[in-house]
């Protein structure tokens, strides 16, 4: 089922469970070539539609936006190719990320084969569903984890005691000021089977569910005569979901039966103590987070590694009989997966870490089984991983190019003199930001924005940037050259626009542009007063110029071809979207890599071609 979150400014968000593309999947026309790399119509459409594009101040021009985007993808392919030639694909950072992604896609492929592809909906289940969707029940419940207690209460009711009088004496009555409406698919199927056979005033027998025992009373029943189209679609969705869950449970029980792998106890204790001590030393971290929760991520895992010896890090932590996992490898997984904690309590940390390890082991079993079956070679898996590989290689190559740039004192002084000692400041922006740790919260916030909720109110409620909570997420004015992608994106937006999520080192940011000011011109009397600002400006200019030069030269050397007819034939929407894909056996990612605009290199490329043609 596709779930849409329509936002008033820049976003369309929907879950990537079943995406209906707007053209046939077998259309494999090539839009562009960059050396040995090709960009198909399928790839361009998917990447374009699932990437937000900043609108111009005048109007949305799909032709120019498509043109810039194909240049961006070509640049990405060229930089990825250059990265491989410099062995960037051999680095630990790259391999760690790709191994993590590989395992997610492998598990998803296994889930598809063992669960999704086996779903068969009998007509009898649809008929039963369409019968039940016509009824809604108003109920209240009595709950207990004690079997003896629930049967004692049931016996009292059978002997004439009032259900409501007994409920009034219990804590669960506080959450049931009125009876709750129950419809098809909104309750446990076991309980539903019983309730749908009751008349108003009846009470169920005690029903055992995973969390405990229930007694439910039916107060009233509302009926419809015929199911409409929405009802029928709802029935199909619920029936399929329940069948899927049963298939999943059956596979899970059979697959993990007899499988038993443990973590090294001594290393577990050491790691648990390191985490506990780190959290106690940084307890203020919790106060900066919403609901007093803290999510361990890459920067935290890096600190854990510093507290552990090399021998510990290289020792076997997860004892698989084949390809055991070292403590260092496990920390790589933790840094990418993240682990949420609420307390700095030893028993609590041990329990959370133990649960996290158990999930890791289960995921390893699943991904290894998928690898054994050769699912890494499935076309869908291979093509998705290729997209991510090119994206990460291009980003790492950019970082490598940027890190080499230097500005000498002579270069800075020459700029100072040529500018008549007048330095133009970057434009200033004022934004409100909602910073969160996970994509699930992003989904919730975008939904509330879509419903018209005030952005500042949402920021006060959700942002984990504690210093801005009481200000509705509002920053003071800052230069567009500051705050990384936040400044860069804000500089491209119109006042009132909302954009996000933007992945940052702290999580995911959603921003709203509140105001923008043109950068001032300032005259400096002394070079030393302006030096730092000039150096930062020139270094940024050199970095981007060098990046454009390198990309343009690669395009000349390796050749670039764009099929304008195919490009123009691709029909795109003017609704920006970010898509999150949820995977079988757990996991969630943006459906495609998000590549910010990188099209300026084409200007350098065209100039080089002119010179070569002379």
Give the model confidence (pLDDT) of 229-243 as tens digits: 999 999 999 999 999
3-class secondary-structure state, position 422 = strand
pLDDT for 292 equals 60
Residue 13 confidence (pLDDT) above 80: no
Cis peptide before 310 (omega within 30 of 0): no
Residue 285 confidence (pLDDT) above 70: no
Tell me if 482 sits within 8 A of 536, measured CB to CB: no
pLDDT for 437 equals 80
In a domain, 536, yes or no: no
In a domain, 201, yes or no: yes
What is the average pLDDT across 512-520?
Answer: 88
In a domain, 194, yes or no: yes
CA distance 400 to 67: 27
pLDDT for 6 equals 29
pLDDT for 320 equals 96
What is the average pLDDT across 84-100?
Answer: 95
Tell me which of 457, 492, 519 is where a domain ends. Answer: 519
pLDDT greater at residue 469 or residue 166:
166
In a domain, 80, yes or no: no
Report the first-to-last Cα separation within the chain, whole angstroms. 58
What is the average pLDDT across 383-398?
Answer: 94
pLDDT tens figures, 162-213: 999 999 999 999 888 899 999 999 989 999 999 999 999 999 999 999 999 9
CA distance 156 to 242: 35
459: tokens are 């920021």
pLDDT greater at residue 13 or residue 394:
394
Q: What crossing angle do the helices spanning 229-256 and 346-372 adopt, rounded to 10°?
A: 90
pLDDT tens figures, 335-364: 999 898 888 889 999 999 999 999 999 999
In a domain, 385, yes or no: no
CA distance 285 to 466: 10
Tell me if 504 sits within 8 A of 484, measured CB to CB: yes
pLDDT for 312 equals 96
In a domain, 204, yes or no: yes
Residue 17 confidence (pLDDT) above 50: no
Tell me which of 223, 244, 262 is where a domain ends. Answer: 223
Lowest average pLDDT, out of 67-81, 151-165, 293-307, goes to 293-307
Band (543; pLDDT cuts 50, 70, 90): confident
Q: Which domain holds residue 457?
A: 426-519
pLDDT for 283 equals 75
117, 562, 597, 614 from 556: Cα distances, Å: 46, 14, 21, 15
Rounded to the nearest 5°, which phi and psi values hold at 311? -60, -45
Residue 4 confidence (pLDDT) above 90: no
CATH number at residue 502: 3.10.50.40
Whole-prediction pTM: 0.80
> What is the number of other CB atoms lying within 10 angstroms of the CB of residue 484?
12
Band (366; pLDDT cuts 50, 70, 90): very high
Band (221; pLDDT cuts 50, 70, 90): very high
CA gyration radius, the chain? 29
In a domain, 93, yes or no: no
pLDDT for 24 equals 38
pLDDT for 236 equals 95
Residue 137 confidence (pLDDT) above 90: yes
pLDDT greater at residue 465 or residue 284:
465
Residue 217 confidence (pLDDT) above 90: yes
pLDDT for 58 equals 45
What is the average pLDDT across 258-266?
Answer: 95
Tell me if 553 sits within 8 A of 471, measured CB to CB: no
164: tokens are 């409501």
Tell me which of 223, 258, 288 is where a domain ends. Answer: 223
Q: Domain total for the chain?
A: 2
Residue 291 confidence (pLDDT) above 80: no
22, 41, 410 from 26: Cα distances, Å: 12, 10, 58
In a domain, 24, yes or no: no
DSSP class of residue 91 equals S
pLDDT tens figures, 574-614: 766 667 788 999 888 888 888 878 899 999 999 999 888 86
C-alpha triplet 112, 118, 122: angle, nearest 5°? 140
What whole-number percentage of the chain has pLDDT above 90? 59
Band (60; pLDDT cuts 50, 70, 90): low
- Torsion, CA 127, CA 128, CA 131, CA 137, rounded to 10: -160
CA distance 408 to 310: 39
pLDDT for 288 equals 52
pLDDT greater at residue 85 or residue 498:
85
Tell me if 289 sits within 8 A of 279, measured CB to CB: no
Tell me if 59 sits within 8 A of 574, measured CB to CB: no
DSSP-assigned letters across all residues of 247-277 = HHHHHHHHHHTT----B-HHHHHHHHHHHHH
DSSP class of residue 513 equals E
Tell me if 155 sits within 8 A of 201, measured CB to CB: no
Q: What crossing angle do the helices spanning 92-114 and 229-256 adopt, rounded to 10°?
A: 110
Q: Is the dihedral of CA 318, 324, 326, 331 positive or negative?
A: negative
Calculate the average pLDDT of the chain. Answer: 87
């Amino acid at each position: 089922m596709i779930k849409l979150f329509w936002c008033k400014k820049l976003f369309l968000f929907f879950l990537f469970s079943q995406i209906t593309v707007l053209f046939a999947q077998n259309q494999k026309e090539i839009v562009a070539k960059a050396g040995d790399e090709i960009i198909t119509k399928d790839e361009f459409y998917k990447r374009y539609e699932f990437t937000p594009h900043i609108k111009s101040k005048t109007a949305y021009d799909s032709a120019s936006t498509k043109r810039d985007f194909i240049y961006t993808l070509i640049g990405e392919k060229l930089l990825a190719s250059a990265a491989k030639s410099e062995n960037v694909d051999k680095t630990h950072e790259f391999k760690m990320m790709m191994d993590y992604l590989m395992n997610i896609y492998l598990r998803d492929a296994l889930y598809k084969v063992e669960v999704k592809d086996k779903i068969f909906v009998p007509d009898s289940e649809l008929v039963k569903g369409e019968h039940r969707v016509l009824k809604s029940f108003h109920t209240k419940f009595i709950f207990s984890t004690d079997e003896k207690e629930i049967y004692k209460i049931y016996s009292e009711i059978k002997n004439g005691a009032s259900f409501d009088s007994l409920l009034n004496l219990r804590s669960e009555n506080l959450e049931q000021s009125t009876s709750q409406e129950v419809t098809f698919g909104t309750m446990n199927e076991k309980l539903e089977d019983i309730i749908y056979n009751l008349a108003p005033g009846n009470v169920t027998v005690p029903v055992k569910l995973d969390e405990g025992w229930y007694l439910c009373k039916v107060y009233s029943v509302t009926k419809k005569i015929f199911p409409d189209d929405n009802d029928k679609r709802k029935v199909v969705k619920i029936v399929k979901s329940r069948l899927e869950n049963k298939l999943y449970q059956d596979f899970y029980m059979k697959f993990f039966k007899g499988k038993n792998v443990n973590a090294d106890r001594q290393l577990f204790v050491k790691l648990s103590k390191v985490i506990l001590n780190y959290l106690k030393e940084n307890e203020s971290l919790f106060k900066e987070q919403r609901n007093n929760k803290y999510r361990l991520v890459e920067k935290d895992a890096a600190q854990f590694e510093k507290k552990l010896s090399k021998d510990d890090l290289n020792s076997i932590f997860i004892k698989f009989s084949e390809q055991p996992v070292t403590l260092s490898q496990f920390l790589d997984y933790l840094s990418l997966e993240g682990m949420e904690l609420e307390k700095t309590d030893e028993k609590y940390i041990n329990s959370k870490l133990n649960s996290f390890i158990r999930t890791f082991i289960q995921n390893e079993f699943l991904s290894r089984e998928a690898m054994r079956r050769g699912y890494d070679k499935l076309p869908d898996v291979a093509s998705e991983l290729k997209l991510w590989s090119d994206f990460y290689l291009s980003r790492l190559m950019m970082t490598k190019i940027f890190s080499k740039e230097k500005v000498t004192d002579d270069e800075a002084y020459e700029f100072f003199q040529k500018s008549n000692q007048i330095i133009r400041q970057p434009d200033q922006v004022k934004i409100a930001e909602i910073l969160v740790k996970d994509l699930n919260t992003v989904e919730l916030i975008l939904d509330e924005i879509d419903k018209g909720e005030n952005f500042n109110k949402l920021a006060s409620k959700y942002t984990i940037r504690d210093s801005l909570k009481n200000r509705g997420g509002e920053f003071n004015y800052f230069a567009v050259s500051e705050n990384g992608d936040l400044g860069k994106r804000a500089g491209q937006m119109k006042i009132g626009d909302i954009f996000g999520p933007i992945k940052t080192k702290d999580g995911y940011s959603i921003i709203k542009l509140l105001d923008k000011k043109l950068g001032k011109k300032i005259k400096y009397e002394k070079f030393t007063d302006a030096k730092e600002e000039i150096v930062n400006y020139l270094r940024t200019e050199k970095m981007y110029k060098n990046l454009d030069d390198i990309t343009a030269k690669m395009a000349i050397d390796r050749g670039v071809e764009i099929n304008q007819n195919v490009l123009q034939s691709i029909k795109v929407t003017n609704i920006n979207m970010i898509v999150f894909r949820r995977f079988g056996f757990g996991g969630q990612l943006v459906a495609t890599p998000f590549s910010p605009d990188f099209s300026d290199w084409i200007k350098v490329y065209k100039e080089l071609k002119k010179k070569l043609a002379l």
